[in-house]
Amino acid sequence: MRRWVFVLAVLAIAVALVAAFRGPLAMGAMSVMAPRIMSANPMAEIPDGIQVTLCGAGSPLPDPQRSGPCVGVVAGGHLFVIDAGSASARNLQGMGLPLSDVEAVFLTHFHSDHIDGLGELSVLRWVAGAHQDPLALIGPPGVEDIAEGFNRAYRADARFRVAHHGEEVVPPSGKGLVGRPFSMPTSGQEVVVWDREGVRITAFQVDHQPVEPAVGYRIDYAGRSVVISGDTVRSPELERVAENADLLVHEALAAHLVAIMHATAKEAGMEGRAKVLNDILDYHATPVDAAESASAAGVDHLLFYHVVPPLLVPGLPAAFLQGVSAAYDGDVTLGRDGTRVLLPAGSDDIEVSGGT
Ligand SMILES: [Zn+2]
Ligand SMILES: [Zn+2]
């Protein structure tokens, strides 16, 4: 009995000591961890091949597991970002994809949820990498306006940073974005928009009417391939371009779940919101549409992103995927922020982590 009292007393003193010194203890841990974190080169640890990371798996609607649309692609050691929705920059960094290494951002279209994170991304990439050239913003015609608009909004910020950190750390020539438009592919056509060191990226038309232009992208490297839908209804163009691709990253809006939100808004007399919830049905694909596309194209794996609506209640992921397995017999992942798919070079493997 006396022994237990002694043990409990020692424990109580230990707990009190930890509580009293937790500040200094945390500082000690930080000085041990910081050099490791800051000197790490996470890009070097990514195997050769294509790695896709969802730096944003959601839409404008708030979902704690899904930020604004963003796909980080590492191919042959090069880092690209497809769309930059809100929280893209933070997510990329948190997911081990250094902003200083972003070589180009590709836009699928100019809806706000796909560009909300561009300002933050371009500033942090500039400051983190002491870049001499602005970040390339590649997209269909109109992308130069987006670049100019962000540059204008961030002009004062750039001045402050140069004045404070000096031109060597933040070279003025590297600030902001430079728009690099490509000519819009017509139906049945693809446009090569990047072709360097074995990485080939092609753009193709999708259907997100009345939003024009709107494209999807196909990335090929070392015999592996990924197709990213952007925002679209079920698209025969996409099915043609995605033929036999390893991975299809497809947007989806579960109409049967959005219908519940629509009815609720209507009953509550929120006419404007009810109309928006009804309007969005006609320019997105349902999960079953996406699954039918995956099946028609013969892709090996389907990854859902741009997931609408937010899946906030347990069980909703299953409801979202209702009918998908009947339409497509390949592997399916319901993406969330941080879902990662690796396609190693020289193999047929598809390694997925995160996601449902
Ligand atoms: Zn859109
Ligand atoms: Zn969107």
Q: Report residues near ion ligand 1: CB below 5 Å.
A: 111, 231
Q: Which ligand is nearest to the CA of 214?
A: 1
Q: Which residue has the higher pLDDT, 23 or 218?
A: 218
CA of 172 from ligand 1 middle (Å) equals 33
Q: What is residue 308's predicted lDDT score, i.e. its pLDDT? A: 96
Q: Which ligand is nearest to the CA of 308?
A: 2
20-66 residue pLDDT tens: 888 888 888 888 888 877 778 889 999 999 999 999 999 999 999 99
Q: Which of helix, strand or coil describes residue 4?
A: helix
Return the closest-CA partner of residue 192 out of 223, 215, 209. Answer: 215
Q: Which ligand is nearest to the CA of 57?
A: 2
Q: Which ligand is nearest to the CA of 208?
A: 1
Distance between CA atoms of residues 74 and 94, nearest Å: 15
CA of 343 from ligand 2 middle (Å) equals 26
Give the distance from CA 141 to its chain's centroid.
22
CA of 337 from ligand 1 middle (Å) equals 19
316-334 residue pLDDT tens: 999 999 999 999 999 999 9
Average pLDDT over residues 95-104: 96
DSSP H helices in the chain:
2-20, 22-39, 88-94, 112-115, 118-129, 143-153, 155-165, 236-241, 255-267, 271-279, 287-297, 316-320, 324-327
As assigned by CATH, the class of the 44-353 domain is: alpha beta
Q: What is residue 157's predicted lDDT score, i.e. its pLDDT? A: 97
Q: Which ligand is nearest to the CA of 210?
A: 1
Distance between CA atoms of residues 355 and 337, nearest Å: 8
300 pLDDT exceeds 70? yes
Grade residue 1 by pLDDT with cuts at 50, 70 and 90.
Answer: low
Distance between CA atoms of residues 329 and 351, nearest Å: 18
Q: What is residue 28's predicted lDDT score, i.e. its pLDDT? A: 87
Q: What is residue 18's predicted lDDT score, i.e. its pLDDT? A: 75
| Low-confidence winner among 38-52, 99-113, 144-158 (lowest mean pLDDT) | 38-52
Max Cα–Cα distance, the chain, nearest Å = 85
Mean pLDDT of all residues in the chain? 95
Interaxial angle between packed helices 143-153 and 118-129, expressed in degrees from 0 to 180 and rounded to the nearest 10 = 70
CA of 280 from ligand 2 middle (Å) equals 10
* CB distance 250 to 231 below 8 Å: no
Q: What is residue 37's predicted lDDT score, i.e. its pLDDT? A: 78
Whole-prediction pTM:
0.93
**So where are the chain's domains?**
44-353
* CB distance 119 to 85 below 8 Å: no
CA of 245 from ligand 1 middle (Å) equals 23
CA of 232 from ligand 1 middle (Å) equals 8
Average pLDDT over residues 149-170: 97
CA of 208 from ligand 1 middle (Å) equals 7
Distances (CA, A) of 210 to 58, 102, 229, 238, 284: 21, 31, 17, 18, 11
Cβ contacts of residue 142 below 8 Å, gap of 6+? 110, 181, 213
14 pLDDT exceeds 70? yes
Q: Residues with catalytic annotation?
A: 113
Q: Is the peptide bond before 213 cis (omega within 30 degrees of 0)?
A: yes
| Low-confidence winner among 8-12, 74-78, 179-183 (lowest mean pLDDT) | 8-12
99 pLDDT exceeds 80? yes
The per-residue DSSP string of 173-196 comes to GG-SEEEEE-PPP-TT-EEEEEEE
The per-residue DSSP string of 271-303 comes to HHHHHHHHHGGGGS--HHHHHHHHHHHT-SEEE
CA of 65 from ligand 2 middle (Å) equals 16
Cβ contacts of residue 340 below 8 Å, gap of 6+? 51, 52, 53, 54, 95, 352, 353, 354
